[in-house]
Amino acid sequence: MKKLLPLIILAFAFSACQQVEKQNVVAQLLNQGWTLTGDTLNINMQVDVPSVVQQSLYDNGVIPHPYLGTVENQLLWISDHPWDYTLRFDADKDLLEKENVELEFEGIDTYAEVKLNGEKLFFADNQFRVWKHEVKDLLKKKDNLLEVHFPRYDSTQLALYEQHQPRLPEKYAVSRKAPYQHGWDWAPKYKNVGIWKRVELIGWSDAKLQNAYIVTENIDNEKATMRFCLDVESKAEGNYVAEIYVNGEKNSQKTIRLNGGTQNEILNFEIENPELWWPNEMGEQPLYVFGVLLKDGDKVLDFKKIWSGIKTFEMVDEPDSIGRAFYFKVNGVPMYAKGANYVPEEMIETWIDVDHTIQLLEQAKDAHFNMLRVWGGGIYPSDDFFTLCDKYGILVWQDFMYAGTMYPYDEAFLENARIEAEEQVKRLASHPSLALWCGGNEISEGYYNWGWQKSLNWSEEDDQAIKAGYDQLFETILPEAVTLYDGTRPYWPSSPSKGWGRPESLTEGDVHYWGVWWGELPYEVYREKVGRFAENRARRGVEQGCRGDCVAPETCPWHATNRRFYQTLLSQCPTKGL
């Protein structure tokens, strides 16, 4: 994917930023020159990452285009074969001179064992996490061997699912992988396998900024109170200085005591007479350039530069004469949300192209949209997506990536989910377009109204355990991540808050009204069925439907209708599926 150029080009006043990488932090990209092999197949290809197997097989002429007609069933074998990515590389001299060297994978989809020079580093099991490991002692000057082995995804997932008692509504529940890849009412079953984001080695000495992000705490009396949040990693104790810059001018500084390891630091500062960021058609979208320097005396150890806007966002959920009001305020001003749900632009996530995203979001802006909901059955969008939303004034209701099922509640799964949530909250917090976080899509609605208890034969003890697991994940872990690592955005446990068919779904909270697409009622019914905050459903539901291999198809109201509708569309389209 192309990297989006900065939307604003401003130079910091400090020249040290141009020299930081040479002084302390260096990086070596490992994106080129990989070999992809199928150890049960006669396949050996040279690829660059980001890569997933489906993309690379098509690029090398092994398979037809995955969107061609009804080719889906011919390609389902790919996710149930083992695959290996290998890379031989020489380590940069500057890298080897550093005290610490980390190998970092921005994204692995999904299960994979990673080795360097024959030594196992880790086993990845979450598409949505960054995976890293200290490798200083394993690196050689020449001919390093990096291996990423992907076992059979389908078999691995099925084994995990079969081990879980009581049964969960969907097999994909056990995997931290994009649910839509397992098939949806708008999506074929292409379960991608591969290194879907970049790989690099990062070397450093003394200390470095592991994360840096910025949020607006308050706007009052011509003044904005801001918060710079830092994750600082160090190997030794000592006093260091963090300097804050705003549009190239030094704003403030703070002395911080590092005790070794990784620790969180908060830097509060103020901006006089701020230019506020507004949603589309409510005002302009000015962006500031914020910078932070980490220094040891006069020596610059690391720096981060962030484009962000100054904005406050409030969710209003309170009793009124109708039921409960549900709307948002931006910078203290009520807004009328206009937009749509956003699902992944491609089935093969490495095909998502920033030029297409630009076109899509420009169309949203021109259509008077001021908000998109990133649906919980897909993937967390890239930084490019959010940077464009910052530019165009498109607020983002961001779901965590959970949808349409109950989830495991063992300690390992919940810890995996916690780390994922913390990483994503920190990654996206600086974007003024980020409006709120939501636990996921149609999960509480499914639990209370879709009959899982009966169709899956849950005992009373099973039901209590699954509900307790739901509460732990969606009522404790996810909101804690939002509060601890942002603290300025609201959290909403599940969308919708009330399901279709219940009278209160139209008088409080958010609603997914299914009467037109599923109930086959005429469009005119929308004049009567007006929710407080309506999020989806026109002719067909883009966010809920049978996956085709659901656990209890006989009780699934979408099973026959949506799958038949999807197959009909495929058969009518000779060049591209949906």
Q: DSSP alpha helices (H): ranges in 63-218? A: 93-96, 153-163
Q: What pLDDT is stored for residue 531 in this prediction? A: 81
Q: Please list, in sequence order, all residues whose beta carbon lies within 8 angstroms of the beta carbon of residue 15, skipping any fewer than 6 positions away.
A: none
Q: Are residues 352 and 382 in the same domain?
A: yes
The tens digit of pLDDT for each residue in 171-220 reads 999 999 999 999 998 899 999 999 999 999 999 999 999 999 999 999 99
User: Is the domain of 215 the same as that of 128?
Assistant: no
Q: Identify the pLDDT of residue 387.
A: 98
CA dist 65 → 56, 77, 183 (Å): 11, 15, 17
Residues 472, 431 share a domain: yes
Residue range 472-521, pLDDT digits in tens: 999 999 999 999 999 999 999 998 887 777 787 787 888 887 778 777 88
The reported pLDDT for the residue numbered 513 is 79
Which has the closest alpha carbon to 338: 372, 314, 366?
372
**CATH number of the domain that 69 lies in?**
2.60.120.260
User: What number is the average pLDDT over the span 451-467?
Assistant: 96
pLDDT higher than threshold 60 for residue 563: no
Asked whether residue 387 falls in the same domain as residue 240, the answer is no
In 247-319, the DSSP E strands lie at 249-272, 288-296, 299-308, 313-319
Position 5 pLDDT exceeds 60: no
486: in domain:
yes
Residues 373 and 456 in one domain: yes
Same domain? For 51 and 139 the reply is yes
Residue 237 in any domain: the answer is yes
Number of folded domains in the chain?
3
As given in the structure block, the two tokens for residue 105 are 């994978």
From 186, 202, 218, give the residue that closes a domain. Answer: 202
Burial class (CB in 10 A: 0-12, 13-18, 19+), 40: exposed
Burial class (CB in 10 A: 0-12, 13-18, 19+), 564: exposed
Which tokens is 76 given? 């389902």
Q: State the average pLDDT for the chain.
A: 88
The arithmetic mean of pLDDT across residues 351-359, rounded, is: 96
Sorting pLDDT into bands at 50, 70 and 90, what band is 570?
very low
Considering the domain architecture, whether residues 397 and 472 belong to the same structural domain is answered as yes
Residue 351 lies in a domain: yes
**Per-residue pLDDT at 554:** 43
Q: Which domain holds residue 76?
A: 27-202
Examine the domain organization and report whether 151 and 287 are in the same domain: no
Whether residue 42 has pLDDT greater than 90: no
Tens digits of residue pLDDT in 363-421:
999 999 999 999 999 999 999 999 999 999 999 999 999 999 999 999 999 999 999 99
Domain boundary among 202, 222, 253: 202
Quick check: is 554 in a domain?
no
User: What is the average pLDDT across 258-287?
Assistant: 96
